C-alpha cells in the first residue's frame, strides 16, 4: 500500500489533530506551542483517511526535536498504522538531516511509540525524566 504524506496546513490542527489527542486522552498542546503555529509537521494518509501526524522543531543548535506524534484512534489497521508511523518519523528525521542537523531528539512516555523509535534507530537517553513547561504570558 502506498501512503500519501503532506505538510500540515492551517486547518489540520482544529479539524483533525485536537480530536485525535483528545481521543487518546491527551490534552492538546496549544497551537502556538507547536512549530510554525501548528503547521510545522506532516500528516500521513491512506487514500482520503488521515492516519498520523507529527511535528519537527528546528533549533539553533545541531538538534532537531520530533514531538507530538499522534494517530487516528479510529483507524484500526495496526500494521498500516505502524507503517505510516515509520514513514512519518523517517520523513521528520530526513527533514532534520536535510536541514543540516546532526541529532534528532524525541521524548515520549508511550511504550509503543518508544519502541517504534528504537526500531528506527533511536537510542535511549535519560529515563525517568519529567517534562516541565513555564508559560510566560
Residue 62 confidence (pLDDT): 97
Measured N-to-C along each axis, helices 78-98 and 111-119 cross at an angle, to the nearest 10 degrees, of 60
In degrees rounded to 5, what are phi and psi of residue 6? -145, 165
Cβ atoms of residues 66 and 56 within 8 Å? yes
Q: For the chain, which ranges sit under pLDDT 50?
A: none
| Predicted local distance difference test score (pLDDT) of residue 130 | 77
Order the strands of the 41-46 sheet from edge to edge. Answer: 4-7, 41-46, 49-58, 63-71, 103-106
pLDDT of residue 1: 66
Amino acid at each position: 500500500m502506498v501512503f500519501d504524506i503532506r505538510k500540515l496546513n492551517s486547518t489540520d490542527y482544529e479539524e483533525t489533530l485536537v480530536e485525535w489527542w483528545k481521543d487518546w486522552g491527551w490534552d492538546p498542546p496549544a497551537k502556538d506551542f507547536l512549530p510554525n503555529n501548528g503547521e510545522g509537521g506532516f500528516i500521513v494518509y491512506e487514500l482520503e483517511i488521515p492516519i498520523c501526524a507529527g511535528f519537527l522543531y528546528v533549533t539553533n543548535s545541531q538538534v532537531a526535536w520530533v514531538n507530538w506524534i499522534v494517530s487516528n484512534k479510529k483507524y484500526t489497521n495496526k500494521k498500516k498504522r505502524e507503517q505510516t508511523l515509520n514513514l512519518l518519523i523517517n520523513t521528520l528525521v530526513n527533514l532534520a538531516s536535510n536541514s543540516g542537523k546532526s541529532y534528532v531528539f524525541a521524548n515520549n512516555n508511550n511504550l509503543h511509540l518508544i519502541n517504534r523509535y528504537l526500531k528506527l534507530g533511536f537510542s535511549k537517553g535519560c529515563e525517568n525524566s519529567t517534562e516541565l513547561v513555564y508559560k510566560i504570558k
